[in-house]
Every structure is written in structure tokens, then in C-alpha cells.
Amino acid sequence: MVTVVVLYHSSHGSVEAMAHEISDALEFHGANVKLRTFEKKHEHQQIISKTDLIECDALAFGTPTRFGMMAAQAKAFWETTSDLWLKGQLIDKPACVFSSSSSMHGGNEATLLNLSLPLLHHGMMLLGVPYDVPELLSTRSGGTPYGATHVAGSDNSSELSECEKKICRAVGTRLFNIASKLK
């Protein structure tokens, strides 16, 4: 069985909703999904551990956009992973990234690139969203070839659009397929 960690930080619920869409697609295909966060805000949430990363076969990683960068909680965690890097414990694991911003041009693509940096340093294989996902071409809100995105609105009230949900599910499916082939 393929084990996938879906790791996220969510301030207003959008990134958490994306994490659940990705998780649903992974579970549909039979993956063992471990939803993890950087800080516990709700009773049902579990905090990420380095052991989770070592033992997983793949990773989906997302945070809201913070001026084109990942949330501070995520950055603080990745800064503790030098021991994993020194041992090469994440090398060749497939990974994808996802993000949400309050506006269409709020920095989602820059954030996706920023989220990718620690994964690339760890030797992970970064997966984007290929253009055979039709919603990538038809979306009027979130979705990029770098990863799934959402536009939450200035008051963070927008729910995931159908295109955004389908892109998240496509990301989960692709991550499962690649992890399964590698396992």
C-alpha cells in the first residue's frame, strides 16, 4: 500500500479544503493517507513529524500565500530537517505543492515555487499539473501547471470552485500513480 502524507497549514480553511480534496483522490485509489499540519488548531488534526516524512512514499505540501512565500509555520518546520537531508532520507520520493491566496494575482505561483525549494533540496521529485487536466485551461480562478491553487477572495469567503476541486483531485491521482509505480 502506498502511504502519502498530505501536509498543510491553513489559516482560514481554504488550504485545508484543498488538502481534503487531494486526500479524497488518494484514498479513492487506495492510498493510506496521513493528513498532517504544522500546528494543531482542531482536535482531529495531527502534527507532522520527521518520521512521517521518512516513512511516507509521497508528499503533498500546501500553505496559504504569504507575500509569495510559504507560511512561517511551514518554513520553521523545514528548517529542522537538515538531519533528513544529510542522510538523504527523502530522495526520490514524489511530491506536489498547493496554495491559496486572497486574489487572482496574490502570489500563488510564486508560493508554489517557494514551497518547492525545500522539496528539491531534499531530492524529492516534484510533480506539477500537466495540461491533460482540462480544468487547467478552463479555470477562471485557481490552478497552475506548478500545482493546485485556490483564489479565496479578499475576505476568504470563496469556496473551492469545481475546477479547483478537479485540479486538486487530479494532483492527488497523479501523485498516487507515480508513487505506486515507484513502489
Q: What is the pLDDT of residues 95-115, one digit of tens each?
A: 999 999 998 888 999 999 999
Q: Average of pLDDT values for 79-84?
A: 98
Q: Average of pLDDT values for 43-62?
A: 97
Q: What is the pLDDT of residues 12-31, one digit of tens each?
A: 999 999 999 999 999 999 99
Q: What is the spatial distance between Cα 115 and Cα 117, in angstroms, rounded to a whole number? A: 6
Cα–Cα nearest to 83, from 51, 58, 109? 51
Global confidence as pTM: 0.96
The residues facing 151 across adjacent strands are 101
The top-scoring range by mean pLDDT among 37-46, 68-77, 145-154 is 68-77
pLDDT value of position 129: 96
The top-scoring range by mean pLDDT among 48-52, 105-109, 148-152, 153-157 is 48-52
Q: Average of pLDDT values for 32-61?
A: 96
21-25, 59-63, 92-96, 141-145: segment of lowest average pLDDT:
141-145
pLDDT value of position 26: 98
Q: Average of pLDDT values for 59-78?
A: 97
The residues facing 37 across adjacent strands are 8, 47
Sign of CA dihedral 54, 116, 65, 173: negative
13: region left, alpha or beta (phi > 0 left; psi from -120 to 50 alpha)? left
Cα–Cα nearest to 141, from 153, 127, 154? 153
* pLDDT surpassing 90 at residue 124: yes
Average pLDDT of every residue of the chain: 95
